Amino acid sequence: MTDLSVRLGSLTLRNPLIPASGTFGFGQEFLPWYDLDLLGAISFKGTTAEARFGNPTPRIAECPAGMLNSVGLQNPGVDHVIAEELPALRRVFHGPIIANISGFSIEEYVRCAEKLTREEQVEILEINISCPNVRHGGMAFGTDPSAAAAVTRAVREVATKPVYMKLSPNVTDIVSIARACEDAGADGLSLINTLLGMRIDLKRRRPVLANSVGGYSGPGIFPVALRMVWQVTGAVSVPVIGMGGISTAWDVLEMLMAGAKAVQIGAANLVDPMACPHILESLPAEMEKLGIRSLSEITRV
């Protein structure tokens, strides 16, 4: 009998699988497919202070071994999420809920964190610092250690729930960003977010995406994600949730061996809505092949 449970800080998850923010909505879309209580946790759609329509279309493009998206944080705003989406999700899912927060200023991050940390349904605040800092020329908060630390510190001051910083891979040294977040009070880290990429429409001679560039996700980025998780978990003492191109049980095991305590499944959900149940179903057999009785045995110390 294999033990799929994992420890994520003070939380125990029944298994390490978490649908990644932006690929699972607020859970309702997947109800026709399976019982959400199969999952270890859920990270819901990135939420901002105000409702956002998102970027102009087209904002999705296919590419080898993955996809590009430039959705632009489309969401109904934090007040609607608290009033409508969170209660609806809790009625159908009884595991830990991770509130993914996005913002374009430190004040916006704090405003959302203050509201969501008060919600009983929320177990973890996941802070997406891949957003552009509109007050400082549009550079993403997560590409500069001091900016990443500033967001972490501000959110940590108002949060009563664990704060996990979601890191951008579009940097030269992700370890310095991770350490800055840990030093500023982060309880954990999530990585990686999408890599920047683009496609050209040869017939129109212009970018496929209306926004020109977008986030590249899917199996093609898995080796990059694995490398970054390995580097970060070797440099920090807080727990790490690994993500980026995970689509099989083997990928899950690799990511845990690289040091992640749990994993998030992203683009695979968009290809196959049954991706998480399929991975979960095959995980025990793959563990038995490798002589693994418990996932806690393989997590890098």
The structural domains of the chain, ordered by start, are 6-297 (3.20.20.70)
Residue type, 229: V
Band of the pLDDT at 140, cuts 50, 70, 90?
confident
3-state secondary structure of 199: coil
Q: How does pLDDT run across 229-251, given as a tens digit for each residue?
A: 999 999 999 999 999 999 999 99
DSSP label at 23? Answer: S
pTM for this prediction: 0.96
For residue 50, the model assigns a pLDDT of: 96
3-state secondary structure of 46: coil
Band of the pLDDT at 131, cuts 50, 70, 90?
confident
Name the nearest CA neighbour of 127 among 117, 119, 139, 136: 117
For residue 133, the model assigns a pLDDT of: 54
Band of the pLDDT at 136, cuts 50, 70, 90?
low
Q: How does pLDDT run across 39-76, given as a tens digit for each residue?
A: 999 999 999 999 999 899 999 999 989 999 999 899 99
For residue 132, the model assigns a pLDDT of: 61
- The encoded tokens of residue 16 equal 């390490």
Secondary structure tally for the chain: helices H, strands E? 9, 16
Band of the pLDDT at 127, cuts 50, 70, 90?
very high
- Least reliable range by pLDDT among 128-137, 169-178, 215-224, 265-274: 128-137
Average pLDDT for 117-144: 82
- What percent of the chain has a predicted confidence (pLDDT) above 70? 97
For residue 301, the model assigns a pLDDT of: 58
Among 112, 131, 181, 276, the one annotated catalytic: 131
- Least reliable range by pLDDT among 100-104, 140-144, 206-210: 140-144
- The encoded tokens of residue 235 equal 């440099």
The answer to whether residue 131 is catalytic is yes
Bridge partners, 43 (sequence order): 98
Band of the pLDDT at 195, cuts 50, 70, 90?
very high
CB-side exposure of 46: number of CA atoms within 13 Å?
24
